[in-house]
Amino acid sequence: MYCSLSESSSTAHPSQPFVFYCMRTAQTLSGIVARRFFNTSTRIMASGKTLTVSNINPNVIKMEYAVRGTIVIRAVELEKELAAGVQKPFPNVIKANIGDAHAMGQKPITFIRQLLACIANPSLMETDKSLPSDVIEHAKAFLGSCGGKSAGAYSQSTGVEIVRKHVAEYISRRDNGVPSNSEDICLSGGASESIRNVLKLFINKGSGKKVGVMIPIPQYPLYSATIEEFGLGQVGYYLSESSNWSLDEAELERSFEEHSKEYDIRVLCVINPGNPTGQVLSRDNIETIIKFAQKKKLFILADEVYQDNVYAQGSQFHSFKKVLVEMGEPYNKLELASFHSVSKGYMGECGMRGGYVEFLNLDPEVYVLFKKMISAKLCSTVLGQAVIDAVVNPPKEGEPSYALWKKEKDDVLASLKERATLVEKAYSSIDGISCNPVQGAMYAFPQITIPQKAVEKAQSLNQQPDFFYALELLESTGICIVPGSGFGQKDGTYHFRTTILPQPELFKDMLARFTDFHTKFLAKYK
């Protein structure tokens, strides 16, 4: 009767064989480059469609988000095949591609979930006599700040007032008393949304150039994808792998100079603790970056979503805000947006979509416009905001929920710390792989030596060598990692990102499967 997408599609449908999907995707993407130069006024193409790859938003074609890219699509297919009884050389798929703790078996924090249930269904506070009193107090305070005392009412676009207040108190505690004002904080559906909102402010070609955004290489692909989508200019600066992924002033200078002819560089993004690189920046290193930003008049975006994930002896998280304020004039006048999230840390509540941005020294007129812009999106999920509230205002010592909350939090962080050490040791011990210490965050980003014959094989398939490696790994072992080319890396080097999130038993299983695969891969392409 009519043609549904899935019936008519010859591309990218989960039921299509993967190789065919890859071929079609490759065709699409190369075809697109050619077709973009056609005059789109003849927009009703052979397909008869009004919207086609010939006239779609060109930035959507260019953007890539490797964390959910082709390898992951194939992993999902493999899971379905296994579930359907197809025989594979592995019993299960291990998704080490994404920082998704609960999907990897981490248990939720009881306090957070009790609070959420009370806010969702307030009658529980009357009927459930087993609820700790502090959970009820938190829930009532939160609901008292909601329209109609319901999480079903829209919040202000900037977020529920009491949560913004608790965030400010949290930041000030974290930063040794450096003040924070709730008016400078906007809640959002995860940190990604805030990061995208802030980057959107910079879209402006008034100077005749694209605005340039400095990002680390390797980077988290949200940045490269958003920069492409918004038509901004990517200005990559390399992290120094030999110095445990630290930043080097000379490299910042090189990158700035090299790109300043092409772009009007106005933004410097830093990810600390690092994703995908797992380093924790030293205070010295942060001061270097701040001085550089001041010299070049850059607006700093500090992605600090892994601030609770610091494992290495001697490593400590320093917020950019605290360092910048403590450095005094003129650095304390720099414009800064700092981001945090409930998706990482010890709670790992990715699906809840809670995050925030704190602004420092933002032009007040710009802030009015920012708030107007986000108002058209109405508000972020109110239950997500409740999770933020639980994270920034957890049980205090002496309250009924404190002991369990503390134990659950400490257990998660201790286990992550154990796996952070384990992953580095395991990968470093494998021939042809080197791995920096995982000081923080949730990832290792090992470098792999890919034999020349494998590189040639990959090239013959029109694939990046690390993509080829990752796909072989997936098909042979069920382990899903993300090729380094999705994050950026120095030419001629190959990496992959793996999370440290599989629970200990699965994690050991994964390392064993990996080692076996790698040995065979080296032998095969020797």
Q: Report the site for a copy of itself in 204-223 (rule: CB under 8 A).
A: 204, 206-208, 221-222
Query: What minimum distance in Å lies between the beta carbon of 471 and a copy of itself?
Result: 18
The kind and range of the H/E element at 520 are helix 504-524
Query: If binding is defined by CB under 8 A, does position 189 make contact with a copy of itself?
Result: yes
- The pair of three-digit structure tokens given for residue 481, joined into one six-digit string: 């990692």
Query: If binding is defined by CB under 8 A, does position 382 make contact with a copy of itself?
Result: yes
Query: If binding is defined by CB under 8 A, does position 82 make contact with a copy of itself?
Result: no
Q: Which stretch binds a copy of itself (CB under 8 A): 83-91, 97-105, 391-399, 492-500?
A: 97-105
Three-class HEC string of 208-269: CCEEEEEEEECCCHHHHHHHHHCCCEEEEEECEHHHCCECCHHHHHHHHHHHCCCEEEEEEE
- The pair of three-digit structure tokens given for residue 270, joined into one six-digit string: 């830093």
Cβ neighbours, 10 Å, residue 16: 15
Please give the size of the binding site for a copy of itself, defined by CB under 8 A: 140
Q: Report the site for a copy of itself in 358-377 (rule: CB under 8 A).
A: 359-373, 375-377
Q: Would you give the DSSP letter of residue 147? A: G
Query: What minimum distance in Å lies between the beta carbon of 126 and a copy of itself?
Result: 11
Q: Report the site for a copy of itself in 12-41 (rule: CB under 8 A).
A: 12-14, 25, 28, 36, 39-41
Q: Report the site for a copy of itself in 475-514 (rule: CB under 8 A).
A: none
Query: If binding is defined by CB under 8 A, does position 451 make contact with a copy of itself?
Result: no
Between 159 and 274, CB nearer to a copy of itself? 159
Query: If binding is defined by CB under 8 A, does position 357 make contact with a copy of itself?
Result: no
Q: Which stretch binds a copy of itself (CB under 8 A): 3-11, 281-289, 390-398, 488-496?
A: 3-11
Query: What minimum distance in Å lies between the beta carbon of 362 and a copy of itself?
Result: 6
Q: Report the site for a copy of itself in 420-449 (rule: CB under 8 A).
A: none
DSSP assignment of 77-102 equals HHHHHHHTT---SSSS-EE-SS--TG
Which one of 34, 85, 91, 130 is in contact with a copy of itself (CB under 8 A)? 130
CA distance 486 to 218: 9
Query: If binding is defined by CB under 8 A, does position 524 make contact with a copy of itself?
Result: no
Task: Identify whether the C-beta of residue 93 lies closer than 8 Å to the C-beta of residue 480.
Answer: yes
Between 237 and 359, CB nearer to a copy of itself? 359
Amino acid present at 158 = T
Angle at 300 between CA 156 and CA 347, to 5 degrees: 55
Between 266 and 518, CB nearer to a copy of itself? 266
φ and ψ of 338, to 5 deg: -115, 140
Taking CB under 8 A as the rule, which mask of x and - marks residues 140-159 in contact with a copy of itself? ------xxx-xxxxxxxx--
- The pair of three-digit structure tokens given for residue 372, joined into one six-digit string: 């107007």
Angle at 149 between CA 144 and CA 152, to 5 degrees: 130
Q: Which stretch binds a copy of itself (CB under 8 A): 68-76, 234-242, 399-407, 485-493?
A: 68-76
191-200 and 221-229 helices, crossing angle to 10°: 40
Query: If binding is defined by CB under 8 A, does position 415 make contact with a copy of itself?
Result: no
Taking CB under 8 A as the rule, which mask of x and - marks residues 292-331 in contact with a copy of itself? -----xxx------------------------xx------
Between 157 and 393, CB nearer to a copy of itself? 157
Between 439 and 463, CB nearer to a copy of itself? 463
The kind and range of the H/E element at 474 are helix 465-477
CA distance 228 to 338: 22
CA distance 134 to 122: 14
φ and ψ of 282, to 5 deg: -75, 160
Between 11 and 493, CB nearer to a copy of itself? 11
